[in-house]
Chains A and B, each alone.
Chain A
Amino acid sequence: MPDAKLIVGMVLTLIGASLVLGFLPVKTEYSQEDHGGASREVRVEYVEKHNYTYFLSQCFLLRNPSNNTVVDLVYMWLPVNASNQLVRLLETNREPLYRKNSEDGAVILVYNLSLMGGETTWINATLQVTVEKYKLIMENLPWMNYSQVEKNTGGKRYWAVENQTYVSIAQSIGLDARDPVEACSRIGKWILARLNYQPTWRRGAEHALILKDGKLAVSGDCEEVADVFVTLARILGIRSRVAHGIYLLEDKDVVTMWMRRTETGYDLSDNWGGHAWPQIYVPQAGWVDVELLEGGTVKIGDFSQYHIKYGFEEKSFMGSTMLYCQAMYLETDFFHFTFRRVQP
């Protein structure tokens, strides 16, 4: 039978050891000598930046479907100068009447064409487009200030920020996110985990959320993914918008894609790359691209050279229409794009 002294001694030693081991202050991975806590410095740093230049030739075949001569304005959208993209118009086969900017900054050349009944004609433009492939590290980003949140995170036709289902989803995903990048990363993962990819006409976030087998799913294609992302981000107070453009599905020196009007709709080349993706605004870096459909992961500030930006949608309530080349009375029968990559 052990002595009481031994038992008490062993108990005290064990309690003492556990107190020492349990509460002795040790430096964690977050420790920082200056503050005695995690890093508080905002870090926005490009760890990769590489320019890719393309000569883009965009050609459109227009036709007068009527029997009468028609004088019509023809609108041709151009890739835009934007963060991480530089565009220079080299030539166009007709003199444009004027250049027009849409509410969200899309650049449109307006031509005045006169075609006799049944007549066809081409309008072409050649551009030099430099796209920046980049990788951005963002840490400790502050959330936007009050006036920016009030001004830039409201709802639009396709972004149902007042929808209670979306509000509760956004809050469960991101209220406890420490910074906006963490919140966006969570939103992206949430969407990818529930994505039911189906090409469709644009229906907006409200109609993209469906119940499938008793569970919420995000149904649609790139536009629905972007709309759902923007909706959730805006609910959490993050300024976000949709970018529209072309995605090069082939990594080749020359990529050609086309679309042809038929009697029942359109024929597309197999590599047709109409695309949309979300962006978030970071005051320290500008507009940062978010890609959820490239490689199956959430890419925030990790942007490939395959995206060509034609326009953005942020302010326009009804959404921005991007049609490449359209007129009122004349029909666009053929859309043809050639991207020639310039060797560095």
Chain B
Amino acid sequence: MRLSRIALTILVVVVLTKLVAIPAKPQLNYLIGLNMEVEIMDNGVARVTLKQHPFDAAGRSLISNKEVVERIISDQDSTLSLILLFFTTNPSKTLYLIHSPSKLDLDEQVFCNTGIPGVMETLNGAVTLVVDIFLNTTSSLIPLGGDIYQVVVTDYFTLTDPRSWIDVMDFRFKGGVKLLNFTVDPTWAKPPSIANTTRLQWLNINEADAPDNYVFTLKIPGVVFSSTPIRLKAEVSAARFSSATSSLQVSVRNIGDREGVFTVVLTEKVFEQARKVSVKPGEEASVLFPVHAGNGEDLVVKIFGGGEQLDEHRLIVSVDETVNNRLLMLSAVGLILMVIGSLLILFYIDEKLMKRHPPSEEKA
């Protein structure tokens, strides 16, 4: 059951979290019964079919209400994001294919609780959406060795809003996929109503009954993990330590042909520090680090991009003595010049005085 009083939910969030109220337009509130079927196939693809059936607070079906159905259909993108979040923490990196877009199918049925305590009923008609998700691009698939994998499916509806849950969760294991083991979280969640080697089905009458996480150990013979080629290239183009500010400026040059986010890592004796920087091809950017290491200690600078180390540079912390010596030398030269200049002025004055009062004339 998804708390799909969409208008109301948005309104409540607005008012409850803000300092000032927003005027609200009265809109039709409704809830949605949710049935999800997940077929896990032996190529590592999960075909997810989500069936939605709207109804009002009195439990009356709204499947014939055009406005409501159209709203559910137009919400396909957000529904799709939610489906992906059952399998991954980052939908933007997940590969999927919409097998069948959201549409009204009057031949389908949704089984759900509509508010009558302890009763689940069948509602005719559903808005269906079918998506193929490539599990090898999700965070749900954890290799355990060989063809054995742990698959974790999270009920994201209940995770996002504790009042929501999936009324029927139906897992089917197709082809060469074998179910070896399964658990659910939390432990007080109800066990499946159907449990055999090819199918697990949960009927959840309320949120407390519904598992938050479904964890399977499966044998899936056809999963292929492709390694990501290194596409980013960068180098440390300069690393300058300033003793005046005890900081290190690291310049990163993108020497590849695509823009990327690089992570510059500075390793000192005590701390490892990292900074992210986005650099376009052929361009350079600089980041600054506070340096905590003492004089004579090593600093190691590494650049990472696309999960790979791209460059490394080492230097030693030192007070810039060469600069200081140079400053001292320049000061000494200045002092010598001052002395010579002063002597020349003194000689000039002495000569002037001698010319005004020549000693021979005085004697004469």
Contact = CB atoms under 8 A, between A and B. Distances in A.
B255 interface: no
Interface of A: 3, 5-6, 8-25, 28, 30, 34-42, 65-71, 73, 75, 97-98, 100, 102-103, 108, 110, 114, 140-146, 148-150, 153-155, 162, 167, 171, 175-179, 199-202, 221-223, 235-237, 244, 247, 259, 263-268, 272-276, 316-319, 321-324, 326-329, 335
B330 A16 contact: no
The 10 lowest CB-CB distance pairs between A and B, nearest first, are: A19-B334, A9-B344, A12-B341, A16-B337, A16-B338, A13-B341, A265-B24, A36-B319, A37-B243, A71-B117
B235 to A, nearest CB: 17
B115 to A, nearest CB: 5
Interface residues of B, number: 95
A321 B13 contact: yes
B294 A317 contact: no
B290 A171 contact: no
Contact of B13 (A14, A36, A323): A323
A211 to B, nearest CB: 22
A235 to B, nearest CB: 7
Nearest to A325: B16
A157 B292 CA distance: 36
B338 A17 contact: yes
Interface in B340-361: 340-348, 351
A3 B348 contact: yes
Nearest to B278: A167
B95 interface: no
B270 to A, nearest CB: 8
B197 interface: no
Nearest to B352: A3
B331 A140 contact: no
10 contacts: A5-B344, A15-B337, A23-B327, A30-B246, A73-B208, A235-B276, A316-B159, A317-B89, A327-B163, A328-B1
A143 B273 contact: yes
Contacts of B335: 16, 19-20
A102 B162 contact: yes
B13 A202 contact: yes
B53 to A, nearest CB: 16
B274 A144 contact: yes
B274 A237 contact: yes
A263 to B, nearest CB: 7
Contacts of B287: 175-176
A272 B277 CA distance: 41
Given A275-B19, A328-B1, A328-B163, A236 B342 contact: no
A11 B341 CA distance: 7
A16 B242 CA distance: 28
B271 A316 contact: no
B264 to A, nearest CB: 9
A179 B25 CA distance: 47
Contacts of B58: 66-68
A40 B13 contact: no
B308 to A, nearest CB: 12
A318 B22 contact: no
A179 B341 CA distance: 48
A80 B281 CA distance: 46
Nearest to A106: B162
Nearest to A271: B19
A8 B341 contact: yes
A66 B114 CA distance: 12
A69 B273 contact: no
Nearest to B88: A317
Given A8-B344, A12-B337, A274-B18, A23 B12 contact: no
